[in-house]
Amino acid sequence: MSTATTDKRAKLVTQQDRRRQEVRLGWMLAGPAFVVMLLVTAYPIAQAVYDSLFSLRLTAPDERDFVGLQNYLTVFSSTDVFWRAMIVTVLITVVAVSVQLVIGFALALLMHRAIARLRGPLRTAILVPYGIITVVSAFAWYYMFDINSGFVNSWFSWVPGISEEMDWFAETWSALAVIIASEIWKNTPFIALLLLAGLAQVSDDLLEAAKVDGANWWQQLTRVVIPNMKAAIMVAVLFRTLDSFRIFDNVFIMTNGDAGTEVLSLLAYRQSIMRLEIGLGSAVSVIMFVCVVLIAVIAVKGFKVNLAEGTGSNAGQKKETK
Partner 1 sequence: MINTRLTPKQKGIWALIAVVVFIYALFPVVAIFANSFKTPADVGAGTFWPQNWTWQNYEMIFVGQAQTLFLSALRNSIGITLISTVIAVVLATLCAYAIARLDFPGKRFILFTSLAVSIFPVISVVTPLFNLWRSIGLYDTWLGLIIPYLSLTLPISIWTLSAFFKQIPWELEQAASIDGATQWQAFRLVIVPLAAPGVFTAAIIAFFIAWNDFVYGISLTSTEAARPVPAALAFFTGSSQFEQPTGAISAAAIVVTIPVVILVILFQRQIVSGLTQGAVKD
Chain residues 168-207 in contact with partner 1, contact rule CB under 8 A: 182, 185, 190, 193-194, 196-198, 201
Residue 196 near residue 134 (C-beta atoms within 8 A): no
Indicate whether 23 belongs to the interface with partner 1 (CB under 8 A): yes
Interface stretch with partner 1, choices 1-9, 72-80, 148-156, 216-224 (CB under 8 A): 148-156
Q: Using CA atoms, how far apart are residues 267 and 277, in angstroms rounded to an integer?
A: 11
Indicate whether 129 belongs to the interface with partner 1 (CB under 8 A): yes
Nearest-approach distance from CB 223 to partner 1, in angstroms: 20
Q: Count how many residues are written for the chain.
A: 322
Q: Which member of 15, 16, 32, 156 binds partner 1 (CB under 8 A)?
A: 32
Q: Which residue lies nearer to partner 1 by CB, 7 or 45? A: 45
Q: How far is CA 118 from the centre of its chain?
A: 30
Q: Angle at CA 284, nearest 5°, toward 278 and 287?
A: 135
Indicate whether 22 belongs to the interface with partner 1 (CB under 8 A): yes
Nearest-approach distance from CB 5 to partner 1, in angstroms: 28
Indicate whether 318 belongs to the interface with partner 1 (CB under 8 A): no
Indicate whether 232 belongs to the interface with partner 1 (CB under 8 A): yes
Single out the residue of 136, 174, 131 nearest to residue 152, CA to CA. 174
Q: Which member of 71, 153, 187, 244 binds partner 1 (CB under 8 A)?
A: 153
Residue 216 near residue 231 (C-beta atoms within 8 A): no
- Chain positions 61 to 120 lying near partner 1, rule: CB under 8 A, are 107, 110, 113-116, 118
Q: Using CA atoms, how far apart are residues 249 and 186, in angstroms rounded to an integer?
A: 12
- Chain positions 239 to 278 lying near partner 1, rule: CB under 8 A, are 239, 242, 245-246, 248-249, 252-253, 264-265, 268-269, 272-273, 278
Q: Which residue lies nearer to partner 1 by CB, 73 or 136? A: 136
Nearest-approach distance from CB 114 to partner 1, in angstroms: 7
Nearest-approach distance from CB 197 to partner 1, in angstroms: 4
Q: How far is CA 155 from the centre of its chain?
A: 33
Interface stretch with partner 1, choices 79-87, 165-173, 220-228, 310-318 (CB under 8 A): 310-318
Own/partner pairs, 286-292, CB within 8 angstroms, 24+ separation: 286/45, 286/48, 286/49, 286/52, 287/72, 287/75, 288/245, 288/246, 288/264, 289/45, 289/48, 291/245, 291/264, 292/242, 292/245, 292/246
Residue 223 near residue 215 (C-beta atoms within 8 A): yes
Q: What are phi and psi of 215, to 5 degrees?
A: -75, 135
Indicate whether 303 belongs to the interface with partner 1 (CB under 8 A): no
